[in-house]
Structure 1
């Protein structure tokens, strides 16, 4: 199967906090989508982060699936683990800098 290619724009730091998946080694991000994916599908995205002028080209693999009508009214979508390369490490570092200090046990994310 050919890798999926898309642009994913995160508009603000709160949305980024909800989408970031720090529990994934190497970093990852949740992408709301109704498109069907399977675990380990390859994806390639141009990631736009808040406060960043340029898009980051990031490749990765689907490691999380939230199906339609998931318990707790969770948004349908996929979690993508960033590849362990320069762009993946750069995306992880930029995201972690933007969400630093936002963690709270009462603050939900798309996956936890």
Structure 2
């Protein structure tokens, strides 16, 4: 059984830890309920609801990385904090190879959870074929381009010189009947540098939104809500 080094009490709605915070400890639920949630595309998605006897926070501890979700108390909740020295001793009893396997499993769980969450949101945020003017900066200059399709999660940008995968940049999007450009923080998810049908699959880059305000997301959704041509493939 786990060794408990301390106890913490949380009231209803109180955040236990935030997504992306350091994963430096594991909790055991002694009484109450804990909700795990993740922000995807400006929406909060509930991943799981845990009850007394469940343990959480283990993925962040095993990977020695950031928390993959936010943990929130639902009702008055009492937690036991699993002793860090006990955890370290148990982990160190394992061979180096087995520790690597365990860490790899935890990292795959993080990626799978994110992918499933994205898929759920995608069903609620379909990509719409819509042409909007936009601008962004590369290393040399300001680039003017157009969207091919977009949703509340991201946009495909038609451009003859796509940025490298993983590049982060700020995008300014021109919405119809809106005098103020929509500013969005983005990351290049994938690129297309060759095509056999430029009219259907133009050269460019698929971009995911990593920073967009709630107000900005609503403005984008309002601009897309009257469109009916949903994109089923890229």
Whether TM exceeds 0.5 here: the answer is: yes
Q: Give the 3-state SS of the residue equivalent to 2:219 in structure 1.
A: helix
Determine if the alignment matches structure 1 residue 82 to structure 2 residue 209.
yes
5 Å-filtered alignment, 1:46-85, equals 46-70=172-196, 73-85=200-212
TM-score, normalised to structure 1, is 0.62
Partner Cα separation in structure 2 for residue 6 and residue 58 of structure 1: 15
1:27 is matched with: 153
Tell me the alpha carbon deviations over residues 52-92 of structure 1, each in whole angstroms, 9 at most, x when there is no partner. 11112222100131222255741111122112342xx4443
Is residue 2:220 matched to residue 1:95?
A: yes
Moved more, 63-72 or 41-50: 63-72
- Whether contact under 8 Å (1:38, 1:62) holds in the other structure is yes
- Equivalent pairs, count: 95
Moved over 2 A (4+): 3-10, 70-73, 89-93, 101-104
Q: Distance in 1 between matches of 2:144 and 2:155?
A: 10
Work out whether residues 8 and 31 of structure 1, in 8 Å CA contact, stay in contact via their aligned partners in 2: no
SS of 2:211's partner is coil
Root mean square deviation, CA, Å: 3.1
Q: TM-score, normalised by structure 2?
A: 0.34
